[in-house]
Amino acid sequence: MRLLAIAIFVYSTVCLENCAHSKTLLGVAKTDITPTHPVLLAGYGGRPGEHVGVDQPIWARSLAIGDTKPVVLIAVDNCGVPAHITRAVLAELKESHAITESQLVISSTHTHNAPALRGYAPIVWAGRTTDAQEQRVDRYTLWLTEQLIKTAQAALDNRQLASLSWGQGIVDFGGNRRVISDGKWAGFGFQQNGPVDHSLPVMAAHDNDGNVIAVWTNYACHCTTVGGRNHIGGDWAGNSNLAIEELFEGAIALTTIGCGADVGPQPSGNMEIAKQHGESIATEVKRVLSTELISLPDEPRASSKQLSLPLDELPDPKHFEELAGGGGYHGNHAKAMVERIKNKGRLQSHVDYPVTCWKFDDDLAIVFLAGEVAVDYSVRLKNTMDWRRLWINGWSNDVPSYIPSKRLLKEGGYETDFSQVYYALPARYSPEIEDLICNAVVDLVGESFANTDDQPEPTFLKLPTSREWLVNNADTWASNLTATQRREIRDTSRISESAINGFAKLNSKSPKRAVWFDFTGKQSDRAFFRQEHGNESLAWETKPLTKIADTKQVTLLFLGGTGWISQPESSGFTLQLNDDDVLKFDATTSSKEWSNPDTGVNLKFVCTWNSDVDSAGFFFLRVPTGMLRQNEALKITVKSAGTGSLRWFSVDEVKDSVRIHGLMLNAVLRYDEAQK
């Protein structure tokens, strides 16, 4: 075990003039909580047993703010810290430092690669463990509780004068994971138009020289980038802390999670992607800290409420008696319900639910909600209150279950129904819980934080389109391209000078659609087809073509992609113009050009994103003027020229591709100039 406490004499590489504000007592500390023995991990039910390796250490990090009535935040790399641990830590801190219930918050990062704790989601491992494994879970739970107490006490004992300030940024790797079909939950994936909260509130503490000594930030997204790998690790939140601490030498970083119960990292799949997400947060933190921050006064005023959230209509006890003889999650859940009735005389009908608020005068209200809170709560509260002064955390002080909204309860699915099995609850929630929780938050935060007529609309509560993202991130995009990709984009500058938009509307009715990587490398909803059958196609048209009479050739520019080149080769794709076959081409993972000397048609693909098997980018379609009709739209069709292959073609429904190409070209030219 390693305990590290930081006082204000530590040094950082960054000094900000705008942080010389009012002072408050502040202390930070962190403790290595990586298990020293094999232990079951929480978060996924399909793991075969105890962890088999450590990808990176996990930590408990604490921040103490204030003098006479200090508040204490403990951010823990764990899937969920249950209420009994919070109560145990509070009891010790009350004895040693007179900390009351509203002054302590324990927030879980919800990494799915940390040890299971006694009392958290008990049905995940029910009926599948040995006595020795259960003993090791208890051993780690007790040991972790001791470490949380020690790290909180260290932060309190090492308080020194520091200036505190905050600001807000935006990151956008979270995407709504609830796929909805005909108004109902259809599974996990990426719902492009689903709600998100991409705000990134950042609080920083500086010493007398302006050096950063502590950074606390928060983002609303599940910590599930790595997936079910049976190794210890902090996922993107752990990597966010590491990356921030690399930027600000000697500082301690704390990353907590917002209302991200139905939001997942996009993309995901391994630790390298988790590092990229963490680094994106660190980069935005650095940018926010370079702006004019809002100075915060002395210690915040802490308040809290205990709610009782009602469950919906409870099943007849006989229902669980019938299921208790079976196996699996439902069988083990039923056994737990039967045992509850035996011991308590009835099924649980309500769930205890703590809500806490820390207010820094009227400058900032920080809200802490228990459980895995759906993003709808953030959307609602940040539209009805002043989002410019509001910070919302989930997974705080207890994780009794998912906390669905009215919308989620109407749609149904995992977060509303099956997850209740994991959490050993007998029924789904009543829809009234949304109003109960939101009204409690409004009461705690107060009228001074109400929405005002001049409040701008928040832009971070929906996923930006690839075009919107590119407008704000073109330079970052250009710096991430390969040298070859930048050269190929530069080489198209002369071709694009006279290009016109090659897409106006999709003509194909009810085409296949999928969410996949587009020209920026972001996932978006796209129309596509495969070479599986000869009658597969996509058809679209341009706007009416004008001013073409005096030219020999017209260049049409559209966005799209091809892929799965590991699939068998067929005869590729046929390009048709106004129903006439003019060119053959095929899937590729790099820039390529195809020509037909008989028709004079040329198709040049410039790749701006690719994987081992797929690609996306710009298509430059050069057509002799004689094949076009003045003031008439051109109909473009791509058809499967063969069968038996899953190679695919997609077109992006982007009407301003010429402008998009200009943004990307200028970003590449700026990058080149900066490298000279």
Give me the pLDDT at residue 432, please. Answer: 97
Q: Which of 210-219, 279-288, 546-555 has the lowest mean pLDDT?
A: 546-555
pLDDT (tens digit per residue) in 94-123:
999 999 999 999 999 999 999 999 999 999
| % of the chain surpassing 70 pLDDT | 97
- Widest CA span of the chain, in angstroms? 89
Q: Is the pLDDT of residue 12 over 70?
A: no
Q: Which residues of 298-321 are buried (b: 16+ CB within 10 A; e: fewer)?
A: bbbbbbbbebebebbeeeeeeebe
pLDDT (tens digit per residue) in 208-222:
888 999 999 999 999
- Asked if residue 217 lies in contact with residue 244, where contact means CB atoms within 8 angstroms, the answer is yes
Q: Which residues in 338-480 belong to E strands, given as ranges?
A: 350-360, 364-369, 372-373, 390-393, 402-403
Q: Is 5 helix (H, G, I), strand (E, B) or coil?
A: strand
- Look-up of token digits 């009810």: 510
Query: 188 Cβ partners below 8 Å, 6+ apart?
Result: 177, 178, 179, 264, 414
What DSSP string runs through 185-250? Answer: EEEES--TTSB---EEEEEEEE-TTSBEEEEEEEE-S-B-SS-S-SEE--HHHHHHHHHHHHHSTT
Q: Is the pLDDT of residue 282 over 70?
A: yes
| CA of residue 216 relative to chain centroid, distance | 17
Question: If you average pLDDT over residues 379-394, what whole number do you get?
Answer: 96
CA 93 – CA 526 distance, rounded (Å): 54
CA 229 – CA 328 distance, rounded (Å): 22
- Asked if residue 615 lies in contact with residue 609, where contact means CB atoms within 8 angstroms, the answer is yes
pLDDT (tens digit per residue) in 407-455:
999 999 999 999 999 999 999 999 999 999 999 999 999 999 998 878 8
- Look-up of token digits 């503490």: 205
pLDDT (tens digit per residue) in 496-547:
888 999 999 999 998 998 878 899 887 777 899 999 988 899 999 999 998 7
Rg (C-alpha) for the chain, rounded Å, is 28
CA 565 – CA 587 distance, rounded (Å): 6
- Asked if residue 105 lies in contact with residue 356, where contact means CB atoms within 8 angstroms, the answer is yes
Q: Is the pLDDT of residue 406 over 60?
A: yes
- Asked if residue 124 lies in contact with residue 422, where contact means CB atoms within 8 angstroms, the answer is yes
In sequence order, what are the beta bridge partners of 5? 29
Give me the pLDDT at residue 21, please. Answer: 53
| CA of residue 171 relative to chain centroid, distance | 9
Q: Is the pLDDT of residue 3 over 70?
A: no
Residue 301 or residue 21, greater confidence = 301
Give me the pLDDT at residue 652, please. Answer: 94
CA 160 – CA 67 distance, rounded (Å): 10
Q: What is the mean pLDDT of the chain?
A: 93
pLDDT (tens digit per residue) in 329-350:
999 999 999 999 999 999 999 9
Phi and psi of 640, rounded to 5°?
A: -75, 125
What is the model's pTM? 0.78
- Asked if residue 266 lies in contact with residue 190, where contact means CB atoms within 8 angstroms, the answer is yes
Nearest alpha-carbon partner for 367 in 433, 294, 298, 302: 302
Q: Is the pLDDT of residue 1 over 60?
A: no
The token pair at 600 is: 């004079």
**If 0-12 CB within 10 Å is exposed, 13-18 middle and 19+ buried, where does residue 179 land?**
middle
Sign of CA dihedral 513, 517, 519, 524: positive
Give me the pLDDT at residue 6, please. Answer: 39
Query: 108 Cβ partners below 8 Å, 6+ apart?
Result: 76, 78, 79, 80, 81, 257, 395, 396, 399
The token pair at 623 is: 């057509």
Residue 142 CB neighbour total at 10 angstroms = 13
Domain range annotation of the chain? 3-314+349-449, 315-348, 466-675
Number of residues that this document lists for the chain:
676
CA 562 – CA 650 distance, rounded (Å): 6
Q: Is the pLDDT of residue 203 over 90?
A: yes
Instruction: List helix spans (H) across 38-117.
Output: 83-97
CA 64 – CA 156 distance, rounded (Å): 6
pLDDT (tens digit per residue) in 632-664:
999 999 999 989 999 999 999 999 999 999 999
Question: If you average pLDDT over residues 236-243, what whole number do you get?
Answer: 98
pLDDT band at 7 (very low <50, low <70, confident <90, very high): very low
End-to-end CA distance of the chain: 48
Q: Is the pLDDT of residue 153 over 50?
A: yes
pLDDT band at 476 (very low <50, low <70, confident <90, very high): confident
Q: Is the pLDDT of residue 8 over 60?
A: no
Question: If you average pLDDT over residues 269-276, what whole number do you get?
Answer: 92
pLDDT band at 470 (very low <50, low <70, confident <90, very high): confident
Give me the pLDDT at residue 460, please. Answer: 87
pLDDT (tens digit per residue) in 35-66:
999 999 999 988 999 999 999 999 999 999 99
Q: Is the pLDDT of residue 10 over 70?
A: no
Q: Is 98 helix (H, G, I), strand (E, B) or coil?
A: coil
**If 0-12 CB within 10 Å is exposed, 13-18 middle and 19+ buried, where does residue 506 land?**
middle
Sign of CA dihedral 302, 305, 306, 312: negative
